[in-house]
Amino acid sequence: MSVPAPRGCGLRTLDLKGDERGSLISIEGSRDVPFPIQRVYYIFGTQLNVSRGFHAHVDLTQLAVCVSGSCVMALDDGSVRQEFTLDRPDTALLIGPMIWREMHQFSPDCVLLVLASRWYDEADYIRNYEDFKDKVAALR
Ligand code: T46
């Protein structure tokens, strides 16, 4: 029996438009991504053995793609935890709201592109795991 993914999360395959010159992937807000894109950021140059994340967002949905290299993203909805290896530019990971995330095992050439449903807002972050668990329990 397969284990369910964390709530509102999962891998998506992006349409690869390749020809003899090489490859191209286009991502259109509200079409390939189930939200209007308000922000784009990318993480690169992560040092060896450094992990990032360790927080959740109250009201933010994101789509993450490793456009170069690889990393491992662990997602946790308070009940289910699953690790996703991102190592292909045509594979994107949808991350819903109220999901604890950790990123590990960045390759030296990793460029993690993230499309986000909202502007940056520090007040939207939950940076303590016990607080996150309490808030998830209060929503049930
Ligand atoms: C997430 C994971 C996947 C900004 O000023 N604007 C931004 O849009 C972002 C994302 C960050 N920042 C600042 C805040 C910090 O001073 O950049 C610095 C590094 O951010 P943070 O420590 O939050 O980075 P990560 O890699 O731990 O987490 C990031 C995102 O913040 C987060 O939303 O889901 O990537």
**Does 4 fall in a domain?**
no
**Does 22 fall in a domain?**
no
**Does 126 fall in a domain?**
yes
Spell out the per-residue pLDDT of the chain, length 140, in tens: 567 899 999 999 999 998 999 999 999 998 899 999 999 999 999 999 999 999 999 999 999 999 999 999 999 999 999 999 999 999 999 999 999 999 999 999 999 999 999 999 999 999 999 999 999 999 98
Number of domains in the chain: 1
Residue among 7, 12, 39, 55 flagged as catalytic: 55
Half-sphere exposure (Cβ direction) of 59: Cα atoms closer than 13 Å: 5
**Does 76 fall in a domain?**
yes
Decide: 108 and 61 in contact? Cβ < 8 Å. no
Minimum-distance ligand 1 atom for the alpha carbon of 119:
8
**Does 98 fall in a domain?**
yes
The CATH number of the domain where 55 resides is what? 2.60.120.10
pLDDT of residue 91: 98
Structural domain span for residue 77: 9-15+29-139
pLDDT of residue 50: 98
pLDDT of residue 33: 93
Cα gap 133→116, rounded to integer Å: 23
pLDDT of residue 140: 80
Pocket of ligand 1 (CB under 6 A): 39, 41, 43, 52-53, 62, 64, 101, 114, 120
**Does 63 fall in a domain?**
yes
**Does 56 fall in a domain?**
yes
- Burial degree of 110 (CB within 10 A; 0-12, 13-18, 19+): buried
pTM: 0.96
Residue whose structure tokens are 């996150």 = 132
**Does 123 fall in a domain?**
yes
Cα gap 105→63, rounded to integer Å: 19
Cross-strand bridge partners of residue 86: 71
Tell me if residue 55 is catalytic: yes
pLDDT of residue 30: 87
